[in-house]
Structure 1
């Protein structure tokens, strides 16, 4: 058992607001929170140096679990051996899709420090998703402490080879055994860890992207900005079509006019056009990426004009024809920076920078990964070190 003090974001007895979601009452005081720790007695064999780490296929020895009910709020936080969970077939998550997930990474620096990259931004986004999905907010202090302690316990799983990291997947599922359309009264918050290599098999080599103009992923006013499974299952049909044609991902257009660029299935998207950096504005149907925000900040620091606005795919095609489309890259937790070498829109093939990674894309990758691994000084306060407090647990 480990005790830590948090500035209380304790949930009092929740009430429903006019939109049918929970209002979260708070108390301005401090309380002691206890995480119960049950260490695994059957440790798994860890990957060896040089082993292939396919993204999201290997999982560590432990996971964090915490429950929610209306009477007690978030309670009973535990770190336990990784394993199956028991849940009723009638649990609401299976029938109405009320769930949220996040993704961030831990790195082991050359100096041995364990670093999380911008975890508070992920926690903020998680609670924005929770709010949209009528899931009670998770107190920031509890969330961050859970991340740190779980990573600390399984720190020997953090790979150190170039392009690798410990991927962190927090998620919430609605657990009420009830068939009826309303927010659940009970939830389970879980964090699992996965040592992973590059998200794309191509690594830092430019990927091929299919511009989708038949199916749509999200519309303004919907749940496009929330990180929830419904957005991803909506993308799978187009993804299958793109894979069949030899493309790595789908670039979505808006769901109304089918002409304004939004995001790639697993990434936000950037274009360098005639010296300017352009990315779609956050309009309610695009995920507000943590890496996206970091890239915008870096580009502005380096003196590049950055525009967040609507981008017509016709405008992009015209820029390509005029030789002004200089670089394209995606940003995301999983991929970090992924250069794009080819865009296909209808029958038009747009080759970018002769199919090679661009100078700015490379600089962004080197800078972001350098900060993540502690090789470059973090002047932005983006990294959070995982301190060691569990020696006697």
Structure 2
């Protein structure tokens, strides 16, 4: 089974990603991993922290001569900001007088719930692990999952469809979405320039008023075969697994598969994707088709051969430059919420982190279905299945 875990704090020395279960023989491209990390750092509305960090994955184990060797892969991503926090967050006892307490919890953050759960006198340690900085390690792990899926013809990309009240007002094509990854200047990760300009205005308004703003990103699995996931058991449904993976990201408060939200207010005849059958022509193979893809590529918890489409709804960042009302941990007196250096908008970055989580979840299911201790064995099993689908 493909498994991963992360370790590290926002202002600690480094972040760690540990990935196990990848078969041997997968090409590992260091530049690709670092490019994914770079993409996560981009976007209009990011804060000062991203001007400090230059994220790069240092692979410690599990990869030799550019390929996986079947053993666990450990990666380290240095926190450059650590040099400013060595005396504030030492591993040893250190000087308690240099501790920077988060004295009043921020509404919407894990501060208060975490402090109550772990019996902390303030929210500093809660902030350090609950921070979205942790998603950096997930992106590094997800880059490995993407490199496993690529030889099978499966690709994953994201784009932003809403920031605040500004929304993409048309369908995006796969070539448009995938092309966003190659841009050297990332604004808000939208495929449409006019829509992106309206989104930028929303971020500018939040910035001027000392506020923050959320939005909606969409992740697409392109080339997903029919038959991944199952209805047989509740915890093996593809839609449920993907929803949990995306919902686990910081600040994501809702997940949608396909047109799930609008489907709830529509008639069945308007929602369900009519089925057709296309004969082979011009090099293509015969296949069942869908008139649309309102189901987001998943029916009954199983991928149906269309692109899998997952949307994440991201709440505004909890740290505001114009803080909301709160209460001090020590005196219980009314005050303003603590302020930590933060972003105004992170929707594009959240989309990149969601790509990683979707890739890890989907790659796990692919490995469970097709097995293989080496990439060659996996590809052989996978290609035999694809032939079975085509000959159905």
Q: With structure 2 as the length reference, what TM-score do the two structures score? A: 0.26
Higher helix content, 1 or 2: 2
Higher relative contact order (CA 8 A, sep 6+): 2
Higher strand content, 1 or 2: 1
